[in-house]
């Protein structure tokens, strides 16, 4: 029924639109529509449209309401998250503010410390330079002290003194004196005896005074050195001649140097010449000059002890055993000779050839072991 009316209205409207008449043909019948019919049809159409629209609107409203509910739920969750984040933000911001203030304070302290570090660095560099200078000066002082100590010890100990007192310069400086002392330069035995006599007559015997012992540099640095003195001064030939006196080693060194000068610069041939470092049985020390003679002989020259081989006659060589026994008896008041150390001087350096009792020395000379060196 409704569809028929709608159809009629539609046809009527079309007719009206075409001819302006409210009459139209339906199923080959002339139908006349009244305004009431038209309004009624239109009302039904509008109602139908409204109903359709209402249905569609309700569906849309349901869909959108569902979307709205979902979005509202998400919004609430996001709102809560936002509130939590805002709280965290405020907390972190407070921390940041505190850290920022602390950072500013630390930066101030850092700049202050940086300035102090810079000053300390400059001070350190100055101190390091001063320390380096002090180390150099200290090492120079140590080296100087060690050189001086070595020189001082050369006055205190016989073996340490040899390089100072019997160097080539000391020996050469005696050439004029030796040349004027020997009367027959070609006569070796006579010339050696004249040199012995010169020392006996011109160099008086004098005991050494106490001399301070130079401590080790390490002891000085630690302040643990002991104040010690030695009654010993070893004089060089030039010093002994200048003072006109000296003890046994001073006289022996002078005689050794004069004989060596005679051999080298006047006689023209050098022969073996020894220094005897003697320890007597009573503990006293003594020094003399000696030289071996071909065939196993031995000659001893001791100006301080007023002894020479052949005394009181001419200087000569004797059998080593008999001569050393005789020489030991010369010191009988001190108990005789306990040990002897024989030194040869080579290029100003003392070389200990043998050390031992009289019998050890005799064996060394008889077997000619000094010729094997």
CATH code, 287: 3.10.620
Same domain for 53 and 165, yes or no, is no
Is the residue at 98 inside a domain?
no
User: Is-contact 156 213, C-beta < 8 A?
Assistant: yes
Q: Of all residues in the chain, what percent carry a pLDDT higher than 70?
A: 88
237 vs 1, more confident: 237
Strand partners, 300: 290
Same domain for 363 and 263, yes or no, is yes
DSSP tag of 207: P
Judge residue 11's burial from the number of C-beta atoms within 10 Å of its C-beta, 0-12 exposed, 13-18 middle, 19 or more buried: middle
Is the residue at 126 inside a domain?
no
Same domain for 189 and 318, yes or no, is yes
Same domain for 169 and 79, yes or no, is no
Most confident of 44-53, 85-94, 214-223, 296-305: 296-305
Is the residue at 141 inside a domain?
no
What is the spatial distance between Cα 174 and Cα 168, in angstroms, rounded to a whole number? 10
User: Is-contact 331 324, C-beta < 8 A?
Assistant: no
pLDDT of residue 13: 58
pLDDT of residue 5: 54
Structural domain total, the chain = 2
The last residue of a domain, from among 68, 85, 102 = 85
241 C-beta neighbours (distance < 10 Å), count:
20
Closest CA to 167 of 233, 245, 238: 238
The last residue of a domain, from among 61, 85, 109 = 85
Is the residue at 68 inside a domain?
yes
Judge residue 152's burial from the number of C-beta atoms within 10 Å of its C-beta, 0-12 exposed, 13-18 middle, 19 or more buried: middle
Say yes or no to pLDDT of 21 above 50. no
Same domain for 212 and 301, yes or no, is yes
Is the residue at 137 inside a domain?
no
Is the residue at 101 inside a domain?
no
When mean pLDDT is compared across 23-32, 154-163, 175-184, 325-334, the lowest value belongs to 23-32
Span between the terminal Cα atoms of the chain, in Å? 160
DSSP tag of 318: B
The pTM of this model reads 0.69
- What is the three-class DSSP state of 25? strand
Domain of 71, in residue numbers: 2-85
């Amino acid at each position: 029924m409704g569809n028929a009316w709608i159809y009629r209205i539609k046809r009527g409207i079309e007719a009206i639109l075409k001819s302006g008449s409210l009459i139209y043909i339906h199923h080959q019948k002339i139908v006349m529509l009244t305004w009431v019919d038209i309004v009624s049809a239109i009302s039904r159409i509008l109602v139908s449209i409204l109903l359709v629209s209402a249905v569609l609107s309700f569906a849309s409203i349901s869909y959108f309401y569902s979307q709205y509910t979902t979005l509202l739920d998400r919004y609430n969750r996001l709102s809560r998250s936002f509130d939590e984040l805002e709280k965290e933000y405020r907390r972190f911001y407070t921390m940041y503010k505190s850290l920022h203030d602390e950072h500013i304070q630390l930066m101030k302290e850092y700049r202050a410390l940086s300035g102090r570090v810079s000053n300390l660095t400059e001070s350190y560099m100055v101190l390091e330079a001063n320390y380096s200078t002090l180390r150099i000066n200290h090492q120079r002082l140590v080296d100087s002290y060690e050189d001086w100590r070595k020189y001082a010890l050369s006055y205190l100990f016989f073996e340490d003194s040899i390089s100072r007192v019997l160097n080539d310069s000391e020996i050469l400086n005696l050439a004029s004196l030796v040349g004027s002392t020997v009367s027959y330069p070609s006569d070796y035995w006579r010339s050696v005896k004249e040199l012995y006599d010169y020392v006996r007559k011109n160099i008086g015997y004098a005991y050494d005074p106490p001399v301070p012992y130079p401590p080790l540099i390490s002891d000085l640095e630690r302040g643990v050195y002991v104040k010690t003195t030695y009654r010993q001064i070893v004089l060089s030939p030039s010093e002994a001649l200048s003072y006109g006196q000296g003890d046994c080693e001073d006289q022996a060194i002078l005689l050794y140097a004069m004989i060596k000068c005679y051999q080298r610069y006047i006689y023209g041939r050098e022969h073996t010449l020894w220094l005897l470092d003697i320890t007597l049985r009573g503990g006293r020390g003594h020094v003399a000059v000696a030289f071996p003679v071909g065939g196993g002989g031995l000659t001893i020259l001791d100006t301080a002890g007023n002894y020479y081989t052949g005394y009181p006659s001419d200087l000569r060589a004797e059998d080593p055993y008999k001569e050393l026994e005789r020489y030991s008896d010369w010191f009988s008041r001190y108990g005789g000779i306990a040990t002897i150390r024989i030194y040869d001087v080579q290029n100003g350096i003392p070389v200990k050839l043998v050390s031992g009792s009289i019998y050890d020395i005799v064996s060394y000379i008889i077997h000619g072991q000094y010729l094997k060196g």
